[in-house]
């Protein structure tokens, strides 16, 4: 739509420019006007302002003036019509665009809200999109909102620190929120508001200063990240343990291999079986790295005879297609 409007405006500007050029050239050639006088005559003629001629016109000049009035005025009216149509289309597109986004937000359930679309927010949004989960970007900067929308993401222009904006983003129906605003104070405020509006929400927040971490946790954040500290840690790890770092990069950023958490439904036919009985590696090419029990305990590198119960989470690694099949399998009722 934006390209069509630019092309239309370019055509209108070109048509008016050509019309003025024809008029200027005509008055110079037919009447011998100086260039500026000819251009002035062309402007007052095409705009029909009704001023007197710069100089008396000869018969040939009047004939040209009649021709130019028909051509120039028609061109100007068409240009005004095109500009009016463009303005109306912009208003309608903006209205229906906001309405369409509103309808899409109203349909969201168990979605994630990314507050802030800066460098960290963009990374979070890309990861959510790669995971195939529904999410919404909220940012007070219209350029960032437009950037998110151009990338095919659902985004709204709003101040995430306001309760009204969080409600507009469907905070009551959301599963999680990522706070990546510019300042720690704003992120603490968003975290407090989000926790108040939805007590069951999973909250992840970034901090720039180390002393803000405890404040963020007291505000209700489940996960707190300091990007600069994490980056420095990983840079050092890459030098000290390069193979470990390459493995982590491979399983999180590259290829078709990933690490996932899969919940075992209480109604699944696999609930109550051991890892050996499930044959996950042979059937789906998936390796069980850990089991997070429903009680909250984490069992690392579980033995083959470890029983998996309903409500447990399996931390597994494998091909992404195998992981998706496994997730569906654990949700199937017997």
pLDDT tens readout for residues 60-70: 888 888 888 88
- Where residue 97 sits, what CATH number does that domain have? 1.10.287.70
* Token pair recorded at residue 7: 């092309």
Please state whether beta strands 298-300 and 112-115 pair in parallel, antiparallel, or not at all (unpaired): unpaired
Point out the domain boundary residue: 103, 122, 150: 103
Q: Total structural domains in the chain?
A: 3
Tell me which residue range forms the domain holding 129: 108-231
pLDDT for res 9 = 77
Please check whether residue 242 lies inside any domain of the structure.
Answer: no
**31 and 86 both lie in a single domain:** yes
For residues 119 and 183, membership in a common domain is answered with yes
Looking at residue 96, what is its pLDDT? 63
pLDDT tens-digit readout, 227-278: 877 778 778 888 888 888 787 777 766 567 778 888 888 888 788 889 888 8
Higher pLDDT, 98 or 207: 207
**Judgement on whether residues 112 and 98 belong to the same structural domain of the protein:** no
CATH number at residue 307: 3.30.70.1450
The percent of residues above 70 in pLDDT, for the chain, comes to 93
Give yes or no: residues 11 and 51 share one domain. yes
Higher pLDDT, 327 or 158: 158
In three state form, how does the secondary structure of 14-82 look? HHHHHHHHHHHHHHHHHHCCCHHHHHHHHHHHHCCCCCCCCCCCCHHHHHHHHHHHHHHHHHHHHHHHH
Query: At a CB cut-off of 8 Å and minimum separation 6, what does 111 contact?
Result: 133, 134, 135, 136, 170, 173, 174, 175
Closest CA to 222 of 261, 263, 194: 194
Across 17-23, average pLDDT: 88
Query: Last residue of a domain, which of 103, 134, 156?
Result: 103
Closest CA to 314 of 295, 332, 330: 330
Q: Is 114 found in the same domain as 86? A: no
Residue 106 has φ and ψ, to the nearest 5°, of -60, -25
Residue 124 has pLDDT above 90, yes or no: yes
pLDDT band per the 50, 70, 90 thresholds, residue 222: very high
138 is a domain residue: yes
Asked if the structure places residue 289 within a domain, the reply is yes
The predicted pLDDT at position 2 comes to: 52
* Average confidence (pLDDT) over 112-139: 93
For residue 31, is pLDDT > 80? Answer: yes
Q: Is the pLDDT of residue 334 over 50?
A: no
Q: Is residue 132 part of a domain?
A: yes
Q: Give the separation between CA 200 and CA 78, rounded to whole angstroms.
A: 59
How far apart, in Å, are the Cα atoms of 7 and each of 21, 82, 83, 231? 21, 11, 12, 45
Same domain flag for 97 and 122: no
User: What's the pLDDT tens digit per position in 303-321?
Assistant: 989 999 888 999 998 887 8
Asked whether residue 59 is assigned to any structural domain, the reply reads: yes
The CATH number of the domain where 114 resides is what? 3.40.50.720
Q: Are residues 201 and 121 in the same domain?
A: yes
Q: Specify whether 153 is located in the same domain as 95.
A: no
CA-nearest of 328, 231, 245, 234 to 284 is 328
Q: What is the CA radius of gyration of the chain?
A: 32
* φ, ψ for residue 135, nearest 5 deg: -155, 165
Instruction: Kindly tell me if the per-residue pLDDT of 15 is higher than 50.
Output: yes
- Alpha-carbon distance of 38 to 116, in angstroms, equals 56
* Higher-scoring residue by pLDDT: 120, 237: 120
Last residue of a domain, one of 72, 103, 134: 103
Residues 151 and 89 in one domain: no
**Averaged over 151-168, what is the pLDDT?**
93
State mean pLDDT over 294-299. 86
Q: What is the pLDDT of residue 115?
A: 96
Whether residues 113 and 224 share a domain: the answer is yes
Q: How much is the pTM?
A: 0.61
Taking residues 95-99, what's their average pLDDT? 67
Crossing angle of helices 35-46 and 59-106, rounded to 10°:
60
């Amino acid at each position: 739509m934006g390209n069509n409007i630019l092309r239309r405006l370019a055509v209108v500007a070109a048509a008016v420019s050509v019309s003025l050029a024809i008029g200027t050239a005509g008055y110079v050639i037919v009447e011998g006007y100086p260039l500026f006088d000819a251009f002035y005559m062309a402007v007052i003629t095409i705009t029909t302002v009704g001023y007197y001629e710069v100089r008396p016109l000869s018969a040939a000049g009047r004939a040209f003036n009649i021709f130019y009035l028909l051509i120039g005025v028609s061109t100007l009216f068409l240009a005004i019509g095109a500009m009016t149509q463009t303005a109306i289309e912009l208003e309608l597109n903006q209205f229906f665009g906001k309405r369409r986004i509103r309808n899409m937000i109203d349909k969201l359930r168990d979605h994630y809200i990314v507050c802030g679309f800066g460098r960290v927010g963009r990374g979070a949004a890309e990861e959510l999109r790669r995971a195939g989960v529904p999410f919404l970007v909220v940012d007070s900067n219209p350029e960032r909102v437009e950037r998110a929308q151009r990338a095919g993401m659902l985004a709204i222009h709003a101040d995430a620190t306001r309760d009204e904006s969080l409600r507009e983003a469907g905070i009551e129906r959301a599963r999680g929120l990522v706070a990546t605003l510019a300042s720690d104070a704003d992120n603490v405020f968003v975290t407090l508001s989000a926790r108040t509006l939805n007590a069951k929400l999973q909250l992840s927040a970034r901090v720039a200063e180390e002393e803000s971490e405890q404040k963020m946790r007291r505000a209700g954040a489940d996960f707190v990240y300091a990007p600069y500290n994490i980056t420095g840690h990983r840079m050092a790890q890459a030098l000290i343990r390069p193979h470990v770092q390459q493995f982590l990069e491979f399983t999180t950023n590259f290829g078709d291999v990933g690490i996932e958490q899969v919940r075992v439904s209480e109604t699944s036919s696999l609930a109550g079986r051991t890892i050996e009985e499930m044959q996950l590696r042979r059937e789906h090419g998936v390796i069980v790295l850990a089991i997070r029990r429903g009680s909250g305990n984490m069992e690392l590198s579980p033995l083959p005879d470890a029983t998996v119960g309903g409500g447990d989470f399996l931390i597994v690694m494998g091909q992404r297609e195998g992981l998706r099949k496994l997730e569906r399998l654990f949700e199937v009722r017997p």
